Amino acid sequence: MTRATENAGKAMDGAIRISMWSGPRNISTAMMRSFENRPDTEVIDEPFYAQWLARSGADHPFRAETLAAYPAAFDDVLAWLNEPPAPPATVRFFKHIAFHLADDAPLDWLDAHRSFALIREPADMAASYAKKFDDLTPIVRSYAVARRIADRHDRAGRPFPVVASEDILEDPRGVLAGLCAALDIPFREEMLRWPAGARASDGPWGPHWYDAVNASTGFGDAPQADREPPALTPHAREAANACQADYIFLRNLRLTPTS
């Protein structure tokens, strides 16, 4: 265990830390908007992104800006996650894209977090992501990492709620109310609508990726690319098939709406 990991697991500031684990090309940013619109919550956008960029060498849009703004060492990211929320917030919500974690990354720091997974049909994710990048490994790895986190929570007897994007878009109030109950926080009506526009909390890559979510004001117009059944290339189909077992495992854990 690293010193930063040990400290993160022993946070004593009384704050609630919520970690959402998603793959790319989901409604993860809309979920971040939803939680940020709660008066008790501040959000952090993809805190492990810079350390993944530094480790992988990937040439993503706004790479230099992200490396300049975010910590690139794993222990430094954990120290950031362990900072107390800025008053009056008492909740810190972390939007994680799961493949940013290395396969051997320690997970003990999550003992101080309430985690949940956001899932979407892998074929839809792969078809959408393939429009931006040739390498679809992030789709497969995101499901593998989420499964690893789910397995750890199961061994510890801790809840790990799972919500599906299509369920949220169909019944935002019901699914979010169920999710909040599973996370042991009160549901807030403010989670259903938010002002349009960018946020100071958006990652440096926001100008490249967030046009659609910046135009949204709620889940009714939240971006969910390729809602029609996608036409998959063989490469995209291979990626979708590779994570199907992990996806089905997580889908079997998903919450059903409370309404």
Asked if residues 146 and 26 have their Cβ atoms less than 8 Å apart, the reply is no
Is 259 contained in some domain?
A: no
* Residue appearing with tokens 């036409």: 231
- Tell how far CA 205 is from the center of its chain: 15
* pLDDT computed for residue 220 by the predictor: 87
Question: Considering only 2-11, 58-67, 145-154, 213-222, which range has the smallest mean pLDDT?
Answer: 2-11
pTM above threshold 0.85: yes
Is 257 contained in some domain?
A: no
Is 22 contained in some domain?
A: yes
Is 256 contained in some domain?
A: no
Total domain count, the chain:
1
Percent of the chain with pLDDT over 90: 80
- The per-residue DSSP string of 37-95 comes to TSTTEEEEE-TTHHHHHHHH----TTHHHHHHHS--SHHHHHHHHTSPPPTT--EEEEE
Q: How far apart are CA 159 and CA 216, in angstroms?
A: 31
Q: Residue 115 has what DSSP assignment?
A: E
> How many Cβ atoms from other residues are within 10 Å of residue 155's Cβ?
8
More confident residue, 47 or 228: 47
pLDDT digits (tens, 9 = 90+) for 78-119: 999 999 999 999 999 999 999 999 999 999 999 999 999 999
* pLDDT computed for residue 232 by the predictor: 83
* pLDDT computed for residue 10 by the predictor: 37
Q: Which residue intervals of the chain are DSSP H helices?
A: 3-9, 28-36, 49-56, 63-69, 74-81, 122-129, 137-156, 165-170, 172-183, 206-209, 211-215, 234-242, 244-251
What CATH number is attached to the domain comprising 195?
Answer: 3.40.50
Helix (H) / strand (E) element for 22: namely strand 16-22
pLDDT digits (tens, 9 = 90+) for 155-196: 999 999 999 999 999 999 999 999 999 999 999 999 999 999
Is 96 contained in some domain?
A: yes
Collapsing DSSP to helix, strand or coil, 205 comes out as coil
How would residue 226 be classed by pLDDT, with cut points 50, 70 and 90?
Answer: very low
Asked if residues 36 and 201 have their Cβ atoms less than 8 Å apart, the reply is yes
For 203, the domain range is: 3-251
> How many Cβ atoms from other residues are within 10 Å of residue 37's Cβ?
18
pLDDT digits (tens, 9 = 90+) for 7-51: 333 345 799 999 999 999 899 999 999 999 999 999 999 999 999
pLDDT digits (tens, 9 = 90+) for 243-256: 999 999 999 999 98
How would residue 227 be classed by pLDDT, with cut points 50, 70 and 90?
Answer: low
